Structure 1
Amino acid sequence: MAVDVAVDGPQRFLGRDGKTEFVIREAQMGDLQDVVNINRRVLPENYPVWFFVEHLEQFPKAFVVAEVGGRVVGYVMSRVEYGWSNIEKGRPARKGHIVSVGVLPEARRLGIATAMLKRAMKALKTYYGASEAYLEVRVSNKPAISLYEKLGYRVVGRVPRYYSDGEDAYIMACTL
């Protein structure tokens, strides 16, 4: 499924199943309880509520949610950081950091994560001037790694024992 995303306003998509419609839009403060609930349900790494609030307040254009039938079923939370490039070693860069991605199990395999990530990445570049994006992913999470590779990310590093259960993380990065 080719996903062409806008950077402003809600955008409607037809899922890969050919029948489920979903909307990608910027998150609002009223969405945060749903976002926190999704995070708690689908990811072992959980953040305090203030962490979500801080990201939404500081980087609202790059914090997106997906809705199916008016219900929030997924989110991407991002921020911008300044530091050394993950792509061009030794060069300073403004980097978009994809902090957290979550989609409810019943809403997976529809193209929702792809559409949300493309929207967040476009916003990181357009609104916040990021030249690249990066994220951390469990080395065992083959479906996520495959998705990120399809979006242009490549493994640029490995962090031993990154996760609380001791699993390593790949650092994946792409040019925006």
Structure 2
Amino acid sequence: MTIEVIIDGPQKFTGKDGKTEFIIREATLKDINDVVAINRKVLPENYPVWFFVEHLEQFPKAFIVAEVGGKIVGYVMSRVEYGWSNIERGKVVKKGHIVSVGVLPEARRLGIATAMMLRAMRAMKIYYSATEVYLEVRVSNTPAISLYEKLGYKIVGRIPRYYSDGEDAYLMACPL
């Protein structure tokens, strides 16, 4: 499935199943409770509400949600920061950080995460001038790793005991 994302306004897609329609758009403050509920339901790493609000306020163009039938079913929370490049050693860059991605189980395998990720990545490049993007992912999360590799990410490192349960994370990065 080839996805061409826009970066302004809501965008409608038909899922990989050929029938489910979903909308990708920038999150609003009204979406935060739904986003937090998704985070709590699908991820073991949970953040306080203020953390989501802070990211939405600072990087609204790169905080993306997905809706099916008017219900929020997924989100991508991002930020942009200065730091050492994860791609070009020894270089300081402005880089995007995919902080958290969550999609409800009933909305998976439709292309929602792909569309949200592409929209967030494009927004980080165009609105916030990021030249690369990175994320951390559990070494055991094969479906997510596969998705990120399809989007152009490569494993550039491993972070021992990154998660609170002691599991390692892969550091994955992608040029924008």
Query: Shorter-chain TM-score category?
Result: over 0.9
Q: Secondary structure at the match of 1:120?
A: helix
Secondary structure of 2:56's aligned partner: helix
TM-superposed deviation, 1:72: 0.2
Displacement, 1:149? 0.1
Sequence identity (%): 78
Tell me the equivalent position of 1:26.
26
Aligned to 2:85: 85
Provide TM-score, normalisation by structure 1: 1.00
Unaligned runs of 5+ in 2: none
CA distance in 1, matches of 2:64, 2:84: 26
Aligned residues between the structures: 176
Helix, strand or coil for the counterpart of 1:9? coil
Please say if 1:126 is aligned against 2:130. Answer: no
Q: Partner letter of residue 16 of structure 1?
A: K
- Spell out, residue by residue over 1:3-35, the C-alpha distance to the aligned partner (whole angstroms, 9 max, x if none): 100010000000000000000000000000000
- Give the AA of the match of 1:19: K
What one-letter code is carried by the residue in structure 2 that aligns with 1:167? E
CA distance in 2, matches of 1:59, 1:34: 18
4+ residue stretches of structure 1 with deviation over 2 A?
A: none
Deviations 1:29-59 (A, max 9, x none): 0000000000000000000000000000000
The residue that corresponds to 2:62 in the other structure is 62
Provide the rounded CA distance (Å) in 1 between the counterparts of 2:93 and 2:157: 17
Give the CA RMSD over aligned residues: 0.2
Query: Offset at 1:126?
Result: 0.2
Confirm or deny that 1:154 pairs with 2:154.
yes
Tell me the distance in 2 between the aligned counterparts of 1:36 and 1:4. Answer: 28
Report Cα offsets for 1:136-168 as digits up to 9, x if no partner: 000000000000000000000000000000000
